[in-house]
Amino acid sequence: MAKRKTRTGKSDAAASILDKYERLKWVLGHADGTALIAEIVNECATFLAVQTHVLPLKSLVEGKRYFAFRHNDAKDRTSRPVNEDLYIADPVDLSQQLKKLKANPAMDWLTTDECNRFLYTLAMAFCAFSDVTSDQEKKTPGRYFEQLVGHLLALTFGVQPRNRVEVLTVENERSTLPSDFIFDLGPRKMKFHVPVKVSTGGRAAQVWARQRMLNGFYGEGRFKGVLVALAEANLDLRKLEVAESCLPDRWAAYQRFVARMDRVYYLDLPAKYAALATAFPYIPVKTLGEFFTEKEVLIKPS
């Protein structure tokens, strides 16, 4: 039997996922958002299990194994690299975790490593689905990852994020500075500048520059900078090889001469960036799973 398609050319399953994705932005930081994310991830994982096959990849990253999803009916549609040790491929295991998520969004039933693995799957299931159902369109996966992180942090901090912060110009005119997320915990409490990136690439300079601007407008230490990223794994489709693109020396220069980021969290943590926590100018780069165990430390003034 032929697969049913909507008027847009998408299968019913794909159309359902995209419809839920469009609704997600309206329920960030609410229980309905958690339930919607669980539905999206469950449907994405099911779609990938039925409509794709696993493509083995050669990893050039020491200690990491990767594969990709390739669409059964569109051989030119291949997903981004997926970390084999982080992605929850067992549908029964994932389904149980998603049910627990809806009942307890704090995810305190998980260890730090288990939490990071679960979060990686929440992100990568949709990103891989989007990869194999579109022509390498990057905006949708990036926007989903941003909404996923924004939702989880909104629940954790107990406040809704903003995408702009008010600043005062030299002429005493009020203006706004755009940002991925600003979390303001209230009067006399910490404020967080949280850029969210699927990968940083050459855009890391923007992160430190925005933090420098906030420091200039509000004073050093008023905003804590917390960068959240998914991965830095890049796929060479011709060779079917995966390598990580990292710029640790450049990051160290930004941290030393531009501004200070208080934390960088990754789901697929590059070893070259993790090493930045061990030498001056000390950038604490960790897994996102660790955020949920140290959140009480973060909300305290430096």
DSSP codes of every residue in 163-209: EEEEEE-TTS-EEEEEEEEEEE--TTS-EEE--EES--GGGHHHHHH
**Mean pLDDT for the stretch of residues 273-290:** 97
Q: Are 225 and 183 in contact (CB under 8 A)?
A: no
Residue-averaged pLDDT of the chain: 91
- Residue 7, pLDDT > 50, answer no
Measured CA distances, 106 to 23, 154, 158 (Å): 22, 11, 12
Among 48-62, 156-170, 185-199, 268-282, the range scoring the smallest mean pLDDT is 156-170
**Mean pLDDT for the stretch of residues 290-294:** 94
pLDDT over 70, % of the chain: 93
The predicted structure's pLDDT at residue 166: 72
Please give the backbone phi and psi of residue 21, each rounded to the nearest 5 degrees, phi first: -60, -40
- Residue 72, pLDDT > 50, answer yes
Q: Is the pTM of this model over 0.85?
A: yes
User: Bigger pLDDT: 11 or 256?
Assistant: 256
- Residue 6, pLDDT > 70, answer no
- Residue 299, pLDDT > 50, answer yes
3-state secondary structure of 144: helix
The Cα 102–Cα 104 span in angstroms is 6
Whether omega before 187 lies within 30 degrees of 0, making that bond cis, reads no
Angle between helix axes 12-24 and 112-133 (nearest 10 degrees) is 120
Q: Within 10 A of 80 (CB to CB), how many other CB atoms are there?
A: 24
The predicted structure's pLDDT at residue 224: 96
Q: Are 193 and 210 in contact (CB under 8 A)?
A: yes
Q: What sign results for the dihedral spanned by CA atoms 240, 62, 97, 92?
A: positive
The structural domains of the chain, with segments of one domain joined by +, span 12-137, 156-298
The predicted structure's pLDDT at residue 3: 47
CATH 3.40.91.80 fits 156-298, yes or no: yes
- Residue 203, pLDDT > 80, answer yes
Model pLDDT for residues 260-277, shown as the tens digit of each residue: 999 999 999 999 999 999
Among 112-126, 175-189, 203-217, 218-232, the range scoring the smallest mean pLDDT is 175-189
Model pLDDT for residues 145-164, shown as the tens digit of each residue: 999 999 999 999 999 998 87
- Residue 8, pLDDT > 60, answer no
Q: Are 52 and 72 in contact (CB under 8 A)?
A: yes
